[in-house]
Amino acid sequence: MINSSLKQAVAVAMLAGASIGAHAASIDAGTVRFDVPTSFAGIVMGGGATGLNDTVLFTPEGPAIRSGFSVIDFPITLSGDGGTFALELATVTLSSTGADGAVGGGDDQMLKTATFTDIGNDNSHISFSYDQPLDAAAYYLNITGVTSGTLGGAYSGAIQISPVPEPESFAMLLAGLGLMGAVVRRRSMNKTS
């Protein structure tokens, strides 16, 4: 038998969830090209405190060594007493879809989460960089928050990735460092003579 305090807690949680409402959209940002920011946007209808839980799916053009992500509140005020759109962001999470390429397919892997409390972020702007390699698989951002406008909220975001340098680039770098080392060694030998 369930005791009455547990029943009350469940009832309160259900009422709170129903009063907030929820919004979950899936946005396909497509293929993100190297060193070219890819933008996306979303709108949440519903005044008061409507919850935001959107997913932005994307695929890197190829293996990437570094990536950056940014989401901002896009406040809108309609003329007269038409109302407002405003949003308070909570988190932005980068995840991999795993081998099946499907969001929520059971093999997803969370890679990094940024919150509005992180240094440099606030509830109107969340950005972060991910300095680990991304392969050419499918990834997604999960954006959470709550509307604070009378009509709902709107946001805009961007994804940018940098390619993994080609092996020839590393070879040129090592050759350049070798030449510089030889010049320094020769100069030091000339000074001692």
**Beta carbons of 59 and 137 less than 8 angstroms apart:** yes
Q: What are the pLDDT digits (tens) for 28-80?
A: 999 999 999 999 999 999 877 889 999 999 999 999 999 999 999 999 999 88
pLDDT confidence of residue 53? 95
Domains detected in the chain: 19-187 (2.60.120.1050)
**Beta carbons of 120 and 6 less than 8 angstroms apart:** no
Q: What are phi and psi of 118, to 5 degrees?
A: -65, 155
pLDDT confidence of residue 177? 67
Q: What are the pLDDT digits (tens) for 96-109?
A: 998 888 898 889 99
